[in-house]
A and B are shown apart, each in its own frame.
Chain A
Amino acid sequence: MSDSAKAEAALALHRFGMGPRPGSIAAIESDPRGALIAELERPAASLDAASALPASAKAFRAVADYNARRQAKAIIAKKEQEAKRQQMAEASSMMEGAGKAGEEMAAKTAANAVPDPGRAIYLQEAKIRTEAALNAEIGFTERLVWFWSNHFCISADKIRSMSGAYEREAIRPHIVGRFVDLLLAAEGHPAMLFYLDNTVSMGQNSIAGINRTRGLNENLAREIMELHTLGVRSGYTQDDVISFANVLTGWTLLPPPDNPEHGGEFTFNPRLHEPGAQKVLGKSYDGEGAEQGRAVLRDLAAHPATATYVATKLARYFIADTPPPPLVERMAKVFVDTEGDLKEIAKAMVSAPESWAQPPTKLKRPSEWVVGMVRAAGGKQTDPERFTSGQVLLGEPLWRPPSPKGFPDDEASWIDGMGRRLDIANNVAERVSDRVDPQDVIENVLGSSVSSEAQQAVGRAESRQQALALLFMSAEFQRR
């Protein structure tokens, strides 16, 4: 095969996939575009390994139960300590202070003795997700999972138990399906309802709203319009946000304490729902129950602003920080023409000549870069503790974005982290240098996609470790 065919295959793996593995350039170099499209056509990665993991509601119940037991242990320990203190006749003010501190300490120790199921679930989910990326042939569909998971992000800081299951349940099944189904699955998922506060929102005139004097929370409605569908400054108003928030009242989850079987699952609670029709973006919705919200979501999914917003974001994620306008227009048109068929939009992107522009300018995000290093070294497994810690150091903690907007996707946000990347690259290089030959990586993993300068630097390196660190840090490896 010619060098240009190899270069195109390498570009396909870096730009649309998770990066080359040993042999993967040779496997697709006869037809890189066809290989990408073929990966979209294969049945969605089922994540067999995930079958042992709990569904989101079950994980949520386990953690709720853990929290309750933790609290109970703390209260008991505190009472015991208090009783001990009262037995002591001395009651100087200093003793008093010491006694209180002792109670707090005892309560904390007792609570910490209860094992936390949330952490174990998070780590298992992280392992399965990361290994899916390590083992994918190209990794185009996994990249799409990562994109949509960040687009419809939730945060493990608020709801750790569900963070992995949310992605498996709401995102993964729909990434090559229709946008509207993805939207409905994400917004109706208990993790999202909890993350964006809809579980505590209630209509002013709902039964619960009247009785409890609590009311509306605009958070979910605003972020759906601003971040998930139309995009900011696309014409919706504060009144639209309020009306949409009213429409969504009642979308909540079953509280675990009362529902040992189904706690944590989605439910529509009519007692929280604002009665009556609501006007959103000029259209009146008088549907009953959860159907009213689904109707608004379906219309948001079909809105032309959504097509443009989604096409822009996708092209920015895969192609360039400032994607070529004709490419975005074409993808947006496919979105409109196919009523949001995400597979067709992905195909349109892969088929467009602009998507193959050289040289690569897009800086990989830390997670993609780390997975790329492990793939290049032929690794197929990961230690989730090490991986997630590394992501924290690199500023992209897994499923813990800084805000509902998700992690940023532009070079300016990440380039100042180069120093930290070097430390991580050095660390990875140290661990694999006993079994990975840098020259092999250049020839068999990266094909001809490494510049002569980088080859020279690797050739002159003082050690295998240094050579690998330089290779992993090279522009060719960090840009796509």
Chain B
Amino acid sequence: MTFYHHLPSRRETLLGAGALFAWTQMPRLARAAGRDPRLLVVVLRGALDGLGAVAPVGDPDWIGLRGDRALVLDGKTPALPLDSFFALNPAMPNLHRLYNAQQATIVHATATPYRERSHFDGQDVLESGIVRPGAIDTGWLNRALVAMPSDGRVDLRGSRALGIGAVTPLVVRGAAPVMSWVPQKLLPASADTQARLLDLYQHTDPRLAVALEARMRLASLGPAGGVDSPELDSASLAPPGIARVRAYFADVAGTAARFLARPDGPRVGAVGVDGWDTHINEGAASGQLANLLGALDGALAAFETNMGEAWRETVVVIVTEFGRTARINGTDGTDHGTGTVAFLAGGALRGGRVVADWPGLKAAQLFEGRDLKPTTDLRAVLKGLLRDHLMVEERVLATTVFPDSAEVVPTAGLVG
């Protein structure tokens, strides 16, 4: 059935169509201590195959599980060694460089508390921070900002949030307003028209007023860093190839960095990236997944470059709704699974290690006999970052940010 292969893959092309980011400005509290931390959350939608990204090459059952589709240290395209047990997909040289510079940490065999296999419910749990899917329409990142003590110095309505594209990721939705930013190609409406419309909304529709106001406040920030806006809104009808996807995602990440790096810019942001649902022909050291990981790696490099000096105060956390089956499925891909990896990168990290309580890969050690068993609650990692990087109180983390998570102890020592 070779005729399928020359047609573009939906998943590959979606990265370009679906990348979004949103951000919201930090209350200034954390800056008082002479720090000015930045946090970018990247959500990989579609469920990343953690074993295909970071392979347990030291596990005696690894080769048996994936056969010739297992990443290995002595393959044609060798995986990049992380320690004596794990190795990184060779499509990610930048992450590997950061890891060796103690600026990247990998968390393995991790998962949210969600144990079913619906993407959409899984993303809901990941982004809302609530164990029950569909329970709430705010995200943990936004609630963390709202919950931070402001000492009356922070006016929430004055805080800034931004999204690229028309759909805002759930993780950053909530009471702290989110503004969206889309690169301009059309002639924008005049400031006068905007002001009149805002006046009309304030008299007729407060919710539309908030949305419009957010955009206007962002526009007043001016172009990010004085650099040309990337051509993100190309209206070309042709589905983008991986080269365009790479360019697009690097542009999105680079632009996010220019805003986050500004002294008066936002401090917290979120990006959603589609395309990780590799049911067919996933590949290993090369192929579909490697292409996507490569695009992500390139985006990370663009982000690091454009953050400049601020990189040392930055953490990027890259997460996904769940993992994929430990074994290859019937179509050289993997189906929806459970445990997976999370990537942390940034100058603020105490990195250079893989955080994992390795569950093993024998049939009896797999979750429900098919998936990598999760041994680290992803919320522990996120709570650790929010507590030690953004200085969110632990009590708040266990109640409003990740409700009912008091027993999930924040991972210590990730930053510093």
Q: Which residues of A contact B (CB under 8 A)?
A: 64, 67-68, 71, 116, 119, 122-123, 155-160, 195, 197, 199-202, 204, 209, 214-219, 222, 226, 232-233, 238, 255-257, 366, 385, 388-390, 392-397, 400, 402-403, 405, 408, 410-420, 422-427, 451, 453-454, 457, 460-462, 466, 469-470, 473-476, 478-479
Contact = CB atoms under 8 A, between A and B. Distances in A.
Nearest to A202: B330
Contacts of B17: 157, 397, 400, 402
Given A416-B178, A462-B192, A470-B197, A217 B166 contact: no
B238 A426 contact: no
B143 interface: no
Given A423-B187, A457-B200, A466-B193, A199 B168 contact: no
Interface in B4-59: 4, 6-10, 13-14, 17-18, 22, 45-46
Contacts of A478: 208
Contact of B330 (A122, A209, A416): A209
A200 B329 CA distance: 11
Nearest to B168: A416
A96 B263 CA distance: 47
Nearest to A413: B167
Give the most central of B8, B133, B185, B329: most A CB within 10 Å. Answer: B329
11 contacts: A199-B4, A214-B330, A215-B330, A238-B117, A395-B165, A416-B163, A419-B212, A419-B215, A422-B193, A426-B188, A427-B186
Given A425-B189, A426-B193, A474 B235 contact: no
Contacts of A462: 192
A470 B200 contact: yes
A369 B193 CA distance: 19
B189 A200 contact: no
A268 B182 CA distance: 46
Q: DSSP majority for the A interface?
A: helix
Closest 5 pairs (CB-CB, A-B): A215-B330, A395-B166, A158-B10, A417-B166, A419-B215
A413 B196 contact: no
Nearest to A122: B237
B336 interface: yes
Contacts of B333: 217
Nearest to A451: B204
A66 B333 CA distance: 27
B279 interface: yes
A427 B203 CA distance: 25
A315 to B, nearest CB: 17
B358 interface: no
B280 A388 contact: no
A219 B166 contact: no
B332 interface: yes
Interface string B186-225: 1111101110110111011101100110111000000000
Given A222-B117, A462-B192, A470-B200, A475 B330 contact: no
Given A402-B17, A470-B193, A470-B197, A411 B330 contact: no
B204 A218 contact: no
A420 B193 CA distance: 14
Given A416-B166, A419-B215, A470-B196, A158 B13 contact: yes
Nearest to B161: A416
Given A217-B333, A416-B214, A160 B239 contact: yes
B330 A201 contact: yes
A469 B189 contact: yes
Contacts of B121: 232-233
B1 interface: yes
A405 B184 contact: no
A197 B279 contact: yes
A427 B184 CA distance: 13
Q: DSSP majority for the B interface?
A: loop
A426 B331 contact: no
A402 B274 contact: yes
A238 B367 CA distance: 13
Nearest to B20: A395
A457 B199 contact: yes
B179 interface: yes
Interface of B: 1, 3-4, 6-10, 13-14, 17-18, 22, 45-46, 116-121, 133, 137, 163, 165-168, 173, 178-182, 184-190, 192-194, 196-197, 199-201, 203-205, 207-208, 211-212, 214-216, 233, 235, 237-239, 274, 277, 279-280, 329-333, 335-336, 368
Given A158-B7, A197-B280, A393-B185, A475 B118 contact: no
A474 B200 contact: yes
A354 B281 CA distance: 49
A201 B168 contact: no
Contact of B179 (A155, A416, A470, A474): A416
Contacts of A255: 1, 3
Contacts of A217: 279-280, 329-331, 333, 335
Nearest to A414: B166
A466 to B, nearest CB: 5
Contacts of B194: 422
A469 B188 CA distance: 12
A323 B238 CA distance: 38
A119 B237 contact: yes
B235 A159 contact: no
B331 to A, nearest CB: 5
A64 B1 CA distance: 12
Contact of A216 (B6, B13, B330): B330
Contacts of A257: 3
A213 B205 CA distance: 60
Given A216-B330, A217-B279, 8 more contacts: A201-B331, A215-B330, A216-B329, A395-B165, A414-B167, A422-B194, A426-B193, A469-B189
Contact of B329 (A215, A233, A402, A457): A215
A123 B119 contact: no
B121 to A, nearest CB: 6
A427 B233 CA distance: 16
Contact of B204 (A222, A392, A413, A474): A474
A216 to B, nearest CB: 4
A402 B14 contact: yes
A424 B46 CA distance: 31
A232 B120 contact: yes
A223 B51 CA distance: 24
A84 to B, nearest CB: 25
Contacts of B13: 157-158
A204 B201 CA distance: 60
A67 B6 contact: yes
B6 A475 contact: no
Given A393-B235, A405-B120, A415 B137 contact: no
A156 B13 CA distance: 10
Give the most central of B193, B197, B335: most A CB within 10 Å. Answer: B193
Nearest to A478: B208
Contact of A420 (B18, B116, B180, B331): B180
B17 to A, nearest CB: 6
Given A395-B167, A400-B17, A466-B193, A195 B10 contact: yes
B78 to A, nearest CB: 23
B237 A123 contact: yes
B196 A457 contact: yes
A416 B189 contact: no
Nearest to A209: B330
A413 B168 contact: yes
B372 to A, nearest CB: 16
